[in-house]
């Protein structure tokens, strides 16, 4: 582990707790000790800003106030409430996990780490956050903010993308927890990283431990944490059809596994090398839905970037030749005003809104 004395650990803990009690934001999930509601907030906050999460969390908890309410809800309704937050596997995993909590634990969120970690989609960070914040269990909760804070305070130059580094940071974070203060201390680390010890231009003069910060003393705080470089997202050309028949438009549901699983979208797919978007649409409709379409005019361009790919989507209005494709579980012909009832990826939400503006 990192060379940290008990005295140094105690001083860091004391200062961060005092600072947190004075400076913490009034967030809705901090007004409850309900582990389910805290769990929902932690899942939503992954890869998403606090300001974005607040209205989503409020709506979600209003509709699904208990483990049982979420466990019993139709998945499509859950995904619709999640619409716009992205990373939809989070919502599906959360619902699968609470169903297990209902079945195995009578609806009570487990307070033991091995039980939390056995739930679908629950990793070490989420488990640590829920157990420490809701139950005050002295376990670490190391996310990006905590990696950054600890790497700077204790000048740790390990690559945080490596599993060995995570173990080191978790051991250090656990060592630092003051007795009986796991909930507030773990939140103090997160809060400091979000508001003071920021990725760029850290506000060191506002930091309660800046005079103890080893990176600050060396003037290298902005160089930490050390991270392996990510590959840039791979561009993919997508052809999408706004297919009309008898005043209705065609939407299809994505497969139950994979990217954006289970969401509805305007049909289409990847453009092959050397293929035009119009030719791609005719090929894709014939292959996937046995449907002949007449591609009419360009409708819109939409770009959307995921962590690993970037969609360059071109949409065209089309007309079905020889009648409509048969409706099935994953295929619907709907009125434009009905599109708002279906959970859709952000790129397709933009198309739906543009379409509604033209009708």
Give the chain as a 3 state SS string.
Answer: CCCCCHHHHHHHHHHHHHHHHHHCCCCHHHHCCCHHHHHHHHHHHCCCCHHHHHHHHHHHHHHCCCHHHHHCCCHHHHHHHHCCCCCCHHHHHHHHHHHHHHHHHCCCCCCCHHHHHCCCCCCHHHHHHHHHHHHCCCCCCCCHHHHHHHHHHCCCCCECCCHHHHHHHHHHHHHHCCCCCHHHHHHHHHHHHHHCCCCCCCCHHHCCCCCCCHHHHHCCHHHCCECCCCCCCEEEEEEEEEEEECCEEEEEECCCCCCCCCCEECCEEECCCCCCHHHHHHHHHHHHHCCCEEEEEEEEEEEEECCCEEEEEEEEEEEECCCCCCCECCEEEECHHHHHHCCCCHHHHHHHHHHHHHC
Residue 150 CB contacts under 8 Å (≥ 6 apart), including other chains: 142, 156, 169, 172, 173, 189
Q: Can 42 be counted among the known catalytic residues?
A: yes
205: phi then psi, degrees, rounded to nearest 5? -65, -20
Task: Please state the separation of Cα 117 from the chain's center in Å.
Answer: 18
Active-site residue, from 8, 22, 42, 205: 42
Given a contact cutoff of 8 angstroms between Cβ atoms, the answer to whether 147 and 46 are in contact is no
Q: For residues 41 and 58, what is the distance between their CA atoms, to the nearest angstrom?
A: 10
Catalytic residues: 42
């Amino acid at each position: 582990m990192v060379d940290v004395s008990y005295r140094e650990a105690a001083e860091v803990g004391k200062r961060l707790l005092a600072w947190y009690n004075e400076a913490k934001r009034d967030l809705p999930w901090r007004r409850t000790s309900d582990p389910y509601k805290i769990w929902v907030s932690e899942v939503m906050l992954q890869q998403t800003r606090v300001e974005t999460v607040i209205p989503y969390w409020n709506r979600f908890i209003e509709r699904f106030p208990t483990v049982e309410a979420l466990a019993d809800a139709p998945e499509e309704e859950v995904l619709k409430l999640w619409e716009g937050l992205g990373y939809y596997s989070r919502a599906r995993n959360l619902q699968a996990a609470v169903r297990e909590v209902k079945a195995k634990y009578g609806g009570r969120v487990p307070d033991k780490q091995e039980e939390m970690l056995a739930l679908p989609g629950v990793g070490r960070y989420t488990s640590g956050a829920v157990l420490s914040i809701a139950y005050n269990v002295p376990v670490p909760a190391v996310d990006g903010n905590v990696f950054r804070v600890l790497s700077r305070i204790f000048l740790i130059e390990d690559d945080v993308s490596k599993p060995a580094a995570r173990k080191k940071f978790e051991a250090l974070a656990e060592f630092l927890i003051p007795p009986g203060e796991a909930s507030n201390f773990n939140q103090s680390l997160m809060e400091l990283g979000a508001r003071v010890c920021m990725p760029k231009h850290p506000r060191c003069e506002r930091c309660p431990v800046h005079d103890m910060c080893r990176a600050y003393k060396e003037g290298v705080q902005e160089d930490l944490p050390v991270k392996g470089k990510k590959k840039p997202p791979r561009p993919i050309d997508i052809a999408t059809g706004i297919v009309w028949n008898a005043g209705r438009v065609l939407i299809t549901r994505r497969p139950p596994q994979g990217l954006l699983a289970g969401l509805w979208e305007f049909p289409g797919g990847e453009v092959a090398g050397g293929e035009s978007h119009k030719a791609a649409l005719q090929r894709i409709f014939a292959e996937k839905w046995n449907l002949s379409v007449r591609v009419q005019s360009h409708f819109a361009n939409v770009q959307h970037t995921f962590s690993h790919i970037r969609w360059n989507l071109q949409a065209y209005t089309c007309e079905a030749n020889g009648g409509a494709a048969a409706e099935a579980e994953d295929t619907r012909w709907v009125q434009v005003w009905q599109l708002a009832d279906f959970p859709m990826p952000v790129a397709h939400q933009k198309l739906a809104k543009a379409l509604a503006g033209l009708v």
